[in-house]
Amino acid sequence: MNPKFAGYANPEALVDGDWLQEHLQDPSLRIVESNEDILLYDTGHIPGAVHIDWRGDLQDNTIRDYITPEKFAEVCGRNGITPETTVIFYGDKSNWWACYALWAFRLFGHDKVRVLDGGRDKWKAENRPLTREKPSYARTNYPIPSRRHDPEIRAFFEDALAFSKARQPLIDVRSPKEYTGELTHMPEYPQEGVLRGGHVPGARNVPWKTAANDDATFKSAAELRKIYTENLGLKPDGEIIAYCRIGERSSHTWFVLKYLLGIADVKNYDGSWTEYGNLIGAPIDNPSGGSSGTK
C-alpha cells in the first residue's frame, strides 16, 4: 500500500498507479473511466477500463434525477459488474467526475468502490499504458437493488434549508466568485440558467480543488484535517452537507470527507445551486450585491 494512504480513515478507498498497473488483469476488478469530457475515453484509456457516462448512463434525462434501480442493474450488467466486483473509478479534472460516478454507485448500495489517486492525468504523466481498444466483458446478472440510498448520502433542498436555519455545517465547494455571487457559473464555463448568484446562508466556502494537489492526487491526511477539521471546525461525528452547482464538484468533497477523513454523516446536495438559486422564496446571501432571506 502507498504509505500516504495509511493516514486516511479508509486507506483502502484509494489505489495508486503502481498497484493498478499490477492488477490490470484481476477479474475481481472493473476499472471505470468517467470524465467531464465524454470524448476523452475514445482517445485512449487504461487497458480494460469501461466508460460510464455520468449523464447518459447514470441520470434520467427526462426528469432531474438518477436512474432507477432497474436501470442501474442494467448498466452494471452490460459492463460485467457484479455486487462482488470492486469498481475502481478514475477520470479527468482531478477525479472530479470519477467521484461523482462513485457517489452514484453508492446511491444504489454498491459498496466495493475505490478511486485511482491522481486519476487520468497522473496515469498519463507517468507514461503508463493506454489503449483505444474497447474491452468486451460477459454480461452479468446484477440483481436489482431493493432501493436507492438517498437518506444516507443525499441531501435535498429542504435539508439544505434546515441546515442553514440551524447553522449546521454547509460547505459550498464552488469557486470564490460563485460563492459571493459575482459569477453564476464556473469561470470559463457557460451560464446554465441560474437566476441568482450567491450562496445558502451560513454556508462556508471551501473550493473542491483545495483538497487536491497540482498532480491531481488527493492531499495528505494531515493537510485535509487542517483544511476541514482545524480551519473549518468539522467534527468526525457531525452531520455535513456539501453542495456546488449540480452536485459534481461536491461529490469530490463528499468523498474526501466521508472516505479519507472518516466523517460519519456526509451528504451531497446534488440539486445544488442550479436548484437552490432558482427556487422562489429560497433565502440566499449575495455579498457582491446584497442579500435576501433570514439571517
Residues sharing a CB contact under 8 Å with residue 211, sequence separation 6 or more, in sequence order: 218, 219, 224, 227, 252, 253, 256
Residues sharing a CB contact under 8 Å with residue 272, sequence separation 6 or more, in sequence order: 243, 244, 245, 246, 247, 250
Secondary-structure breakdown of the chain: helix, strand, coil percentages, each rounded to the nearest 5? 35, 15, 50
Give the C-alpha separation, 267 to 254, whole Å. 7
Task: Specify whether the CB–CB gap between 99 and 89 falls below 8 A.
Answer: yes
Q: What is the DSSP string of 152-192?
A: HHEE-HHHHHHHHHHT--EEE-S-HHHHHTS-SS-TTS---
Q: Which long-range contacts (CB under 8 A, 24 or more apart) does 208-211 make?
A: 208/96, 208/173, 208/174, 208/244, 208/249, 208/250, 208/252, 208/253, 209/94, 211/252, 211/253, 211/256
Q: Cα angle at 68 between 62 and 70, to 5 degrees?
A: 130
Residue 220, classed as helix, strand or coil, is coil
Give the C-alpha separation, 79 to 8, whole Å. 30
Catalytic site positions: 244
